[in-house]
Structure formats: C-alpha cells, structure tokens
Structure 1
Amino acid sequence: MKLHSTLKRITMAMACAGLGHLAVAHDGKHTVGIQSPPTAKVEAPFDIFHTRITTEGNIATFHIAVSGKAGDNKPGKTGKLAGSTVFSYVWPTTMDPSVVGFEAKSGILAFAVTSHPDFNDTPLFAGGGGEWHSHWVVLRPDDTCGKGALKVVDIPEGSKPKLPKTWPGLPILIDSPGWNPVFKGKSLEVKVPFDDIGVVQTAGFDGVTAALRVNASVHNPLLCVADVFKVASGNLSLPGKVNQ
C-alpha cells in the first residue's frame, strides 16, 4: 500500500473539508505542527486549527486544538450496538502498526480519542465507552464502507494475528491502552509512553475529526469511517513532523 497516495484518494472521495498548511505559529500558544484555517461549515468542537505531536523523554504528547470547546459534542445513545456512532479525534501516522504490538504492515496506524455510549471497549478506563478515551487503531480502505472509505481492520474468524496486550477483545485491530485524554478549553492532549521514542520522532502525522459507524449487521466490516468532519492538512498527506 502506498500510504500517501491511498490517503489522498480516500480524502478526495469522501469530500473532506478544510485546507491546511505547515506554519510557525497560530496564536502564540499553538506552535509547531500543522496549522489549519477555520472552516465555517464544520461544527466548532471538530473544527481543527492546530495539530501537533511533541516528545519529552519517552513521552509523546498528541495535541489537537479546535475552534470551539474540544470534546463538547458526543454521539447520542441509541441503545444498541448495530448502527451506533463513534465520534473521534484522530492522529493518522506513518508509524508501522508493529510499533504498538500489531502485525507489521497491517495498515495505517492511528491514535484516536473516541466517545461511543452504546458499547464499552475500555477495560483499563473506568469512564466507559461514552466518556472520551484513547485507542490505537489500524485502518485500511474498504469500499464496503463507501467508495474510498476507511475501516478499522477486521480480524477474520479463526485467525490469530499479533495483537497488543491491551487488545479489548473485539474482532478488529484496536488497542485500548487506557491513556487518559485531557480536555482544556479548545485543546485536547494525550500523553503516551513509548519504549522506543525514536520511532515517534521520525514519524509523519495528520489530524482528523470524524464519525465512525458500527455496521448494521455487526459483521465484516465492523467499524467504518462514515463521515469525515475535517482533515488538518486538507488532503491527508501526513505532512506533520514530530517536534517541528
């Protein structure tokens, strides 16, 4: 899979909003990373204007800032898993999935902060699925989700892929490490420890806000990216450089 060309095709097919660029600063506080102009048609809690990843010691800090109050919008509860919605703040990266314990070259590794009140996949997080919590996910295009759309990679029945120790037991490539997202005004940050921080420091990244949906049949594909609200770079080219 050619990562950048695949992501660009997906973004164009889903008609994502927003144009982004790399800049030195936005408002004096939001420096380095990807700066994005505001987009009026995107709801303020999902209207990304700044995305960055920085490191200190063995800790990587994933940061997104939006035009409104970060985390203010959550999906409504439907009372059933099938067809339910997941809201997410996502950092797609160029890191190989093996970095966090998945099979090598199994897809696009992304860090995500999500809310989904209809199911709980957070064994290490006391707040439950409806509260904002963190995941690693592996993404791959699947036209079953819509032309050019992404899904969280499914685990075929009977297969035994390599999985992280904190895999929550769902038949998809997802990890629930329990890292706590911190919302403060317009900003969202998560501090994530790594055994080898060097793999983060050389990575590219982007920022995305999106809604995912559980398939009505709760079957392959289980979890599709149904609606992209905004892409920090505008074209999902992963232009962000860690600490730059």
Structure 2
Amino acid sequence: MNGAPVDGYVFPTTLSPEDVGFSKTAGILALALTAHPDFDDTPLWDEDGDGNYSNDKIVWHPHWVVLVEDKRVPGGLSVKEFDPADKSVVLPKTNPGMPMYMDSPGFQVVTEGNAIRIVVPDYRVRFKTNFKYDAVAAYMQVVTGEGSEHIKGSNMPMLGVYKVYSVLSKNLSLPYQVK
C-alpha cells in the first residue's frame, strides 16, 4: 500500500464522528467515495459481485473518515490517526483495521454516465437528516511501512490529501442539504 494513489470524491459534513459509530473525537466527518488500484480496504464487501472479496480495488466504494488539518500535505488535510494501543478509541464494526478514523460501511454506490450517487440509510447516521455538506474532488495518497503497518515516526500522514481538484461550493462553506 505504501505510496498507493487514491482518487476520491469527499463530502465533508456537519455530522459528528459519533453519528456513524466513532468515539468522540475532534475533526470533520466526511463521506468519501474512493477508487484505488493498489489495495482493497473493504474486506466485508464484494463490490463487483464476482465472489472474490479481495479484488474490488478500482470499484468506487464509500468510507466514513474523520479529517483533520494537516500542513504536511499540499491539500492541507489528512485522515485522523490514533495509537493502536489506545483502547479508548471506538471504531465502527466495519472499520478495515487501519489505525485511523476510517470505516468501510458498504453503502450502495451507483455510477451512471458522469454521475455518481450513494445511498446512505438514515438509520446509519442516527436518523439525522438535517445536516449540511459540500463536495470535493481530490487526490490522496497512502504512506505505510511494511505490509499495513504505518511507518513509526514518519513525518507524513497515513492517508493525506495531496491535491484538491475542485470544491463544489468554491469555498468549502458546506452549503448543501440532504434531500
């Protein structure tokens, strides 16, 4: 996974991390639709329906992530990490096992032409439907050590935003509401 590229549409929200099953933590809860050819981080889901749960790398799939400001990367954000020994951190049951606030919830993603849609059941966000969001197209990258272990003492985040291609609102003001 080290150096793996990740393309994504990231939807920062006004929801709290607790609304989707994370323990209380500072940061911006975002729904990210990602595709990446170098690894499969959704071991519970078979997105392409071929019976193989570990080969769905380039299929668009969702993640909940907690984003934090991070000046180490050009895009200024990264997925919040934690010490794996910290037993106070709570993650959703569908977390892919990486030491960061990330979940692989398995929501349905539908692509049609140049449109991409995601179905998020309201009960999976504690029935909260009165929240705001924005949309960002971004390039992210993974920095890890051997296998899936993060490089100890690395000066780079495990999953950082390296380039922002566009922001729907132009100013990341989260002006959009769920329909």
Scaled by the length of structure 2, what TM-score is found?
A: 0.83
- Consecutive unaligned residues of structure 1, counting only runs of 5 or more, are 1-80
Aligned equivalents of 2:67 and 2:126: distance in 1?
22
Match of 1:170 in 2: 98
Quote the Cα distance in structure 2 between the aligned partners of 1:202 and 1:194. Answer: 11
> Could you say which structure has the larger radius of gyration?
1
Residues 1-35 of structure 1: CA deviation (Å, up to 9, x unaligned): xxxxxxxxxxxxxxxxxxxxxxxxxxxxxxxxxxx
Deviations 1:213-234 (A, max 9, x none): 1126543620000111100000
1:153 partnered with 2:80: yes
Task: Indicate which of 111, 132, 151 corresponds to 1:183.
Answer: 111
- Residue pairs, 1:1-244, within 5 angstroms: 81-126=1-46, 127=48, 128-146=56-74, 149-160=76-87, 161-195=89-123, 198-199=127-128, 201-215=129-143, 218-219=150-151, 221-243=157-179
Distance between the aligned counterparts of 2:86 and 2:144, measured in 1?
23
% of aligned pairs identical? 42
Contact kept, 8 Å, 1:166 with 1:175, in 2: the verdict is: yes
Q: Which amino acid aligns with 2:81?
A: D
Q: Deviation per CA, 1:122-155, whole angstroms, max 9, x where unpaired?
A: 0122142221111111100112224x71001112
Letter in 1 for 2:43: P
Deviations 1:12-60 (A, max 9, x none): xxxxxxxxxxxxxxxxxxxxxxxxxxxxxxxxxxxxxxxxxxxxxxxxx
Alignment check: 8 A CA contact 1:112 1:137 kept: yes
* Total equivalences in the alignment: 161
Q: CA deviation at 1:193?
A: 1.1
What CA distance in whole angstroms lies between the structure 1 residues aligned with 2:70 and 2:94?
Answer: 25
Query: Shift in Å at residue 106 of structure 1?
Result: 2.9
AA matched with 1:206: D
CA–CA distance in structure 2, aligned partners of residues 186 and 157 of structure 1: 39
Equivalent pair of 2:20/2:126 in contact (CA under 8 Å):
no
**Equivalent residue letter for 2:178:** V
Question: What is the root-mean-square deviation in Å for CA atoms of aligned residues?
Answer: 1.8
Q: Name the SS of the counterpart of 2:82 in structure 1.
A: coil
| Residue identity opposite 1:113 in structure 2 | L
Which structure is higher in helix share?
1
2-structure distance, mates of 1:235, 1:158? 37
Counterpart code for 2:97: G
Q: SS where residue 72 of structure 2 aligns?
A: helix
Please, what TM-score do these two structures have when normalized by structure 1?
0.62
Cα distance in 1 between the residues matched to 2:135 and 2:165: 11
Q: In structure 1, how many angstroms separate the alpha carbons of the residues matched to 2:84 and 2:22?
A: 17
